A and B are shown apart, each in its own frame.
Chain A
Amino acid sequence: MNKSKVWFVAGLVFAGTIQFAQASAVSQTKGNFVDKFRQLDEVLPTPNVYRNAAGEPGESYWQQQANYTIKVRLDEQKRRIDAQETIQYHNNSPYTLKYIWIQLDQNIFRNDSIAERTSTFNSKPDTSLGGIDKPAKISLNQLRRQQFMADNELGFSIDKIADSRGRALDFVIVGTNMRVDLPTPLKPNQKTELAIDFGFNIVEEDAVGARSGYEHFPDDAREGGNDIFLMAQWYPRVAAFTDYEAWTNKEFLGRGEFTQEFGDFTVEIDVPADHIVSSTGVLQNPRQVLSNTQRERLEQAEKADKPVFIVTPEEALENEKAGTDKRKVWKFSAENVRDFAWASSRKFIWDAQGYQQGGDVQPLVMAMSFYPKEGGELWEKYSTASVIHTMEVYSRFSFDYPYPTSQSVNGPVGGMEYPMITFNGPRTILQDDGSRTYSLSEKRFLIGVVIHEIGHIYFPMIVNSDERQWTWMDEGLNSFLDGVAGREWDPSIPWGVEPRSIVDYMKSTNQVPIMTQSDSVLNLGPNAYTKPAAALNILREVILGRELFDYAFKEYAQRWAFKRPTPADFFRTMEEASGVDLDWFWRGWFYSTDHVDISLDRVYKLRLDTKDPDIDWERRRQEEADKPTPLFVQRNQAEGRKTWVELNPGVRDFHDDNDRFTVTNKQRNAYQSFLEKLEPWERRVFERAVAEDKNYYVLDFKNLGGLVMPILLQATYSDGTTESLNIPAEIWRRNAQSVSKLIVTDKEVVEFAVDPNWETADVDIENNYYPRRIMPSRIEAFKYNRSTDHISRDLMQDAKTKLKSAESEDNKTEENQEEEQN
């Protein structure tokens, strides 16, 4: 049994090696040399007129454009929308298109979708070690989901597709995609129009688990309760047609998000008259849907220094008690956005504050939040403030926020981003006395999630990376930046993305490279969020430095704003704009599963010989004398045993009086002749080195983790001072396994340390010190601290007991106090 397992593992490794060798166009077929610095030549796509070698949009860069005009009606009772949509499609590509692919993301909820048919069951009968088997488990939520999907007809119903003249067009639905055949092929630089009538039943987010949907509040005063509707992936959207992939055919499986085209939107949203609507874009008809008071408040908010209520908590509470049969149509328009989402409810409190950004792009941005009473004071205090803070920080790293609104909406979705609008989940908790409170953790969660989701308006809503293929391109970059923005909100909150936070994952054997398609990533959090964010953090703080990194990162953001970058464009831009070869960094961090573990195996100390026999030979004599005397000799001496020579002085001769280190003129002459034979420059160098008599150390490093990284070396001198001696990663270029380095110092070194400040995600700290330090394990350290902790606590208790008269009641009060302090 055991043997066969081992064999199986060995087989896997072997197969993996073969596969690797086949995958690479250039391969080492003799010996085992690994070139960790090989340029990414054959890995990155060949530069072309659409994407050039600098990582910029090429001279003939193009992208399609799709403009939408939509009229949508929300049926609150049936929780359904019905809509008429017109898509104006511009073919900016150099190719003629016979058909247009449309994304039908709601179809993921159909029973016959790939996502549904391939979802796996998560519980097995539990064979307990005690011999008592437990049955497999199914959760009430899983059953609720299954029942909801059985009871509701889900997915798009497509009623009609026609061209601009009303002629019906043929279409074929393939899962979440739909091909619409054009009556005549669409040539380059031509445009066409598609009219689609569609509708669908909205999913209950809590039942299904989705990126949009409704949430029901049965306990509201209104009979039958109220709902919040968060609408996204709600209209048939044109699939992306790109220079690197043509039509995006990868079906929506749930995790790999969206690949979108930019366009302009005009959307009329028909909702119950007492609803408040938050949406991508700018409201076009405030006179029809807002009261005078609300419009005045909005104007006040533009120049306010804190959020102003457009709908107060009291008004919202009043509003949610009743209902109405009347309807209102909210008309929004948005320019140059890659998607469009909206939210609607009679529960919404609405606050706004103008963010005076200045500049030419968008001097005024309205930061707004929409939330029910359940969001309460938590939202009132932190939502809109976090929205503004995010724009301030992110714009510094990229470009001015280019849209007129920036919104945070509370609903059933934990955290999700769309252009100008984000959905965020954290709420207050209703206490028994009717008050609403929130914990420190909920506060951190709200600030963190708003920063993250508003940050997504930059990446990927504006820097339009392909989310269906690469989660890390938006999540990794955004997690890196939300760490920066979070620290600038309050550095005492632990925001994560430190190099140390990824070592457990990076040293594990169960992982895939960051460069893995979204739906195939094994562990999305560490793979697509934390690891790339930690990598960028290291790139900024350790490898490039802030000046080079920030310049290159901003260059990337500006080059690709409102365009569609691929991973290669990011890698190339960061390298080209910083002027630093980073292929080894991308190869190690993004294309491999190596980790960082640099070991300082040995240090030799060397001393330069003077060649002068009177000095050198005396040193040798001293070395010999410093060696320990053999026990045999020591004990003979201790016994007072006299040697033959001592007892018989007559036998002494020349050799007894001169040891083997005695210098004669023969050596002195050789020294003189050595000096004379030196060229003048040789002699100068030699004499100076002898005079300076510096300390020479040879350090042997091993790269155990495989990932090549700079060696952040710190020397501690005998006088207690320290010095940083950083060695660039290129030291590993000709041998990625082991290297030796000569370090010359004036002062004597007592300790060398590698990465003493934990900046490189080195997984093993113990081998970073020479001489080795005994590093207590985390548990050893914990026990040590706890024991000292306990001692001090016990002492305090003892002291108190002596001072008090031993009344039990007093003691009790004290205990309670301590409990509260905890």
Chain B
Amino acid sequence: MRTFWLAFMVLIGVSAASAHQLRTASTTVLFNERTGNIEVLHRFFLHDAEHAVKQLFDKKADIHQLERTREQFSDYVQQRFGLATLDDQKLPLSHVGYEIDGNNFWVYQEAPIVPNLKGLKIRHKALQDVWQSQQNLVNVEGNGPLQSVTFNSADNWLEVYF
């Protein structure tokens, strides 16, 4: 049996049993033929993001009031999300922007469509360092039938095939 190192990670919330919070984010990876881009749209519940930023950055972080916090959160999401080809070539995602819309916080990224893509490797670890119960749903659209992968804390890279 191979021994792996076990690293510490400062995870703030235990998966507290609550009858309220949702702890769910969803992301759309859209192959947009019109623009020639793979568009990545991350949607977080503002509710979750509000609480997460205080734990991730500092307790003065405020996603409603401070542009700085919004930028920080957007950067954080981008660090914890990735796309790669099946042979492990990372797709360089450029930052498009972020916005608050209703009760959602959106983060946008994009990369040029890679021709002849046989599939995608996806990684989405956002907020899983804050709450173990965080689940991130990714829908891949615009390249054949819609395919979904759901990221629980245990998941790292998940694959879809076209």
Contacts and interface: CB of A to CB of B under 8 A. Distances in A.
Q: Do A and B come from one complex?
A: yes
Contact of B161 (A5, A120, A254, A780): A5
Given A523-B137, A777-B30, A120 B20 contact: no
A145 B39 CA distance: 40
Given A504-B43, A777-B32, A139 B96 contact: no
Contact of B150 (A120, A496, A522): A522
A783 B15 contact: no
A126 B49 CA distance: 25
Contacts of B22: 525-526, 529-530
B8 A139 contact: yes
Contact of B96 (A2, A505, A783): A783
B106 to A, nearest CB: 7
A490 to B, nearest CB: 13
B153 interface: yes
B17 A135 contact: no
Contact of B137 (A125, A137, A505, A819): A505
B154 to A, nearest CB: 5
Residue of A141, A441, A448, A822 most packed against chain B (CB within 10 A): A441
B148 interface: yes
Contact of B7 (A135, A207, A507): A135
Given A124-B154, A504-B28, A507-B146, A495 B103 contact: yes
A139 B84 contact: no
Nearest to B155: A124
Contact of B10 (A140, A495, A782): A140
Interface string A376-399: 000000000000000000000000
Contacts of B148: 508-510
Interface string A441-462: 1101100110011001000000
B59 A429 contact: yes
Nearest to A764: B141
A441 B63 CA distance: 9
Contact of A526 (B24, B35, B104): B24
Nearest to A500: B102
A469 to B, nearest CB: 16
B116 interface: no
B143 interface: no
Interface string B1-30: 000111111111111111111111010101
A413 B153 CA distance: 22
Nearest to B17: A211
Interface string A409-443: 00001111100000001000100000000011110
Contacts of A456: 19
Given A778-B108, A782-B97, A523 B135 contact: yes
Contacts of A416: 17-19
Interface string B30-74: 101011010101010111001100100001001111110000000
B146 A494 contact: no
Contacts of A495: 103
Contacts of B152: 122
A494 B103 contact: yes
B66 A139 contact: no
Contact of B14 (A141, A496, A508): A141
Interface residues of A, number: 77
A209 B90 CA distance: 37
A791 to B, nearest CB: 15
A782 B106 CA distance: 10
Given A5-B161, A145-B14, A122 B26 contact: no
Interface string A190-222: 000000000000000111111100000000000
Contacts of B7: 134-138
Given A777-B35, A779-B110, A139 B9 contact: yes
Interface string A715-728: 00000000000000
Interface in B76-93: 82, 84, 88, 90
A510 B154 contact: no
A165 B51 CA distance: 55
Contacts, number: 199
A489 to B, nearest CB: 15
A822 B146 contact: no
B51 A441 contact: yes
Nearest to B14: A209
Contacts of B51: 441, 445
B102 A122 contact: no
Contact of B41 (A2, A211, A779, A786): A779
A413 B18 contact: yes
B64 A439 contact: yes
Contacts of B137: 504-505, 508, 510, 523
B14 A782 contact: no
A127 interface: yes
Nearest to B121: A129
B39 to A, nearest CB: 4
Nearest to A448: B20
Given A510-B148, A523-B137, A137 B8 contact: yes
A819 B154 CA distance: 40
A417 B118 CA distance: 49
A99 B41 CA distance: 57
Contacts of A494: 46, 102-104
A575 interface: no
A169 to B, nearest CB: 32
B65 A523 contact: no
A261 interface: no
B19 A129 contact: no
B19 A475 contact: yes
Contacts of B84: 129
A2 B161 contact: yes
Nearest to A452: B20
Contact of A140 (B8, B37, B108, B146): B8
Contact of B149 (A122, A126, A510): A510
A777 B22 CA distance: 26
A819 B71 CA distance: 13
A123 interface: yes
B99 interface: yes
B20, B118, B135 — most chain A CB neighbours (10 Å): B20
A222 to B, nearest CB: 25
Contact of B19 (A445, A453, A509): A453
A82 B130 CA distance: 36
A565 B8 CA distance: 47
A208 B9 contact: no
B19 A136 contact: no
Given A122-B153, A123-B153, A504-B28, A135 B11 contact: no
A786 B108 CA distance: 12
Given A525-B24, A779-B110, A786-B97, A415 B18 contact: yes
A142 interface: yes
Top 7 A-B pairs, shortest CB-CB distance: A139-B11, A494-B103, A414-B18, A441-B50, A525-B22, A415-B20, A209-B14
Interface of A: 2, 5-6, 120-127, 129, 134-143, 145, 205-211, 254-255, 413-417, 425, 429, 439-442, 444-445, 448-449, 452-453, 456, 475, 494-496, 501, 504-505, 507-510, 522-523, 525-526, 529-530, 774, 777-780, 782-783, 786, 819, 822
Given A440-B65, A504-B43, A777-B39, 6 more contacts: A120-B154, A135-B4, A139-B8, A417-B19, A778-B28, A779-B110
13 contacts: A129-B157, A138-B6, A139-B10, A209-B14, A414-B21, A452-B20, A494-B104, A496-B45, A525-B135, A778-B41, A779-B30, A779-B32, A779-B110
